[in-house]
Structure 1
Amino acid sequence: MEPAIKILIYIHAFFGGIGLITGIGSIIVKKGKTLHKRMGKLFSIGMLTSSILSLIVCCFPNHHNIFLFLIGLFTIYLVISGNRALAFKNKTEADLIDKITSGAMLFFSVIMISLGVYCQWNTIDNGILFTFFGAFGLYMTVKDFIFFRNLSEENKNWLSKHIGKMIGALIASVTAFIVAGLGIGNIIAWIAPSILGTIYIIYWNRKLKSKIAKTIKIQV
């Protein structure tokens, strides 16, 4: 059994590496161009495959890790939601898949926060990580449902939503590389990529708002 699990872990790491490389590449190349789209597809395939395999590995004896399991689910949510955000360029109503994806992550985010509170109350190591990522997931999913309710007014935010979710998935890839690949497992290694990624997302959101404002001004 253990040799088979090791093979799964190697495959998981391989696709995670593809996700990491193509994710960084998609940031570097010009947005919206063919190369960016192709890298984005490879990034999505790599991250989804790697995350699904991590869920499977976490179910085997001696490999149980509830935190990594929930982070795997979080990554799957980010990739699926980030890709589906592109469809809102031409639609003004969220469908059942959109709501189920965000609703499921909302549910697991509450679980993560609850586990974080429990761990911190009982002085269990890394409890703050459950709280941090759970709160992050809760914030993103609540924003999803606000977005769904105001599509007629805010449908121009689809690009911001796409960028935010895909950068979030890349953050997960970078974090996995630092923690699992480099073997650095302190709290800074877990949280620093999220902080830096959030700064990058804020930068892009401001850039998009400025571009939209200029477009509106020209039209007027």
Structure 2
Amino acid sequence: MLPEAEINRVLVVTAHPDDVDFAAAGSVALFVGRGVEVTYLLVTDGDAGGNERTLDNSGMAELRRTEQLAAAKAVGVTDVRFLGHSDGRVVPSLDLRRDIARVIRQVRPDLVVTHHPDRNYQFVAPSHPDHRAVGGAALDAVYPDARNPYAFPELLREEGLEAWTVREVWLNGGPTPNHWVDVTEVMDRKLAALQSHVSQVAHVEGFVDFVRSRFAAWAEQAGFGEGHYAEGFQVVPTA
């Protein structure tokens, strides 16, 4: 794994607003607290989400973008980017790979955090088709696209974006996490980020207790002990 001291910039690539906050907001808060520059890249605006469909898709998209900006602020992230792909219809296309590779070359991160591209049969919730498509496209953008100067040559020719090698990827939502982050000290900030997504969670009875119990269980699995909370990832070395 990359030593902490060598992680200076992080790019988090997700399918929808709230994905990063469920999976990694605690880890992000810890990164920001150490002075790491963190960028969020959201492939969709989450326009197919929401509990009560009182808004049309454009209204829901605007609402969810606003909620994600508030959630990002709760953990100290100010650079939030949206690609505007259609919620529920994401496929790991060449266009999506190019879009992600572009941002990788712009941000030049040491670490990319994204969805696991495989279905998790132990816990199906993270295996939304958009999540798996984004995870696969992000991994392809990391290797080989962003680092290969001959891949998507228009990024260099027309936009001046030089090739960039991401050194490590953390995958969330998969069946085989091998790296756990103790987020106990920033759990309140993670909860604040999650509760910023009012359209998605306000109707869920006992939401805070559910989140606490879920991440406490992962802390036990990680061996951190009672009273701790953890986020889990599968680390993929890519350099």
Q: Which is helix-richer, 1 or 2?
A: 1
Q: Report which of the two structures shows the higher radius of gyration computed on alpha carbons.
A: 1
Q: Which is strand-richer, 1 or 2?
A: 2
TM-score by length of 1: 0.28
TM-score by length of 2: 0.27
